[in-house]
Chains A and B, each alone.
Chain A
Amino acid sequence: MQQVFKRPISLKDVQTHFCPGCHHGTIHRLVAEAMDEFGVQGRTIGVASVGCSVFLYGYFDIDVVEAPHGRAAAVATGVKRARPDSFVFTYQGDGDLAAIGTAEIIHAANRGEDITVVFVNNTTYGMTGGQMAPTTLVGQKTSTSPYGRNQHKDGAPIRMAELLAQLEGVAFSARVAVNSPRNIIDAKRQFKKAFRYQVEGKGFSFIEALSACPTNWGMNALAANERVGTEMADYFRLGVFKNTDNL
């Protein structure tokens, strides 16, 4: 018998701190598989953000720079400009990228920085205990929207993949989910495309992954997983919003 499924080499063989049923682990694996696919592990510099994603360096066997909250795209810009031969990606949550780091992501995207941005959207601030995020769905209760998100007061959730696709500098923008084998297989394809854009020097690539946060949603892993495919995917449609080279 041959081993047909194994851990990617870019992913360290360690236990993660993620909660049971959290999709970060799956998204980490897909990132690592994409690194392995293109053989870029040795020249990759990852940029960690603030939130549950901060321990990037504990899980990926790559060089990592830790960015202040929201600033990963600016840090990645500095890294890539100084070392254009390296493969540079950021890994950011929704609070980090779509609230405090909105200016940084939009302008890095608009400049067409040759980097890849992995955006994990779980509609909440996970690390700080489940507060309302820019992506929290209307009506969703969080620890700072105890009566549910009110669109008139709090605004509607931001669709980053569509928003960034509008910018001339963006070469690739897609949204995926990892809540079912079928979605995971498709997500793998999109991750590889996103990485290929940078490997071929074709510009800024953005991939948003819908993710479950069972702990802060107050759900068990199975219910949280289901919510990704129903409520979340209803509002945050899966798909490719920009693919300039039709990769």
Chain B
Amino acid sequence: MAKIEIDEIRCKGCGLCTLACPGKLLSLSEKINLQGYTPAAISFQEKCTGCALCAEMCPDVAITVFK
């Protein structure tokens, strides 16, 4: 059981986390955040293993990981 939380306000929508996720669970959403970026979002949260590679990859420290 694992979970990630993406800070939608901090996220700059660079998409680097989408490269990092071994399960390809991350993608950029269509909505626009306060900064004007399209923040990353997770689909199939239940498939997340909590490996934290997305968080390691995020230049904005916008991802918190629980396991």
Contact = CB atoms under 8 A, between A and B. Distances in A.
Interface of A: 1-7, 11, 15-16, 18-26, 29, 180-181, 184-185, 214, 220-222, 225
B64 interface: yes
Interface of B: 1-3, 9-10, 12-16, 19-20, 37, 50, 52-53, 55-61, 63-67
Contacts, number: 73
A5 B13 contact: no
Contacts of A25: 58-61
Contact of A180 (B12, B15, B19, B37): B19
B19 A24 contact: no
A5 B64 contact: yes
Given A220-B15, A222-B19, 8 more contacts: A15-B60, A26-B58, A180-B19, A181-B56, A181-B57, A184-B56, A222-B14, A222-B15
Query: Could you say which of B15, B55, B59 has the most chain A C-beta atoms within 10 Å of its C-beta?
Result: B59
Contacts of A5: 52, 55-56, 63-65
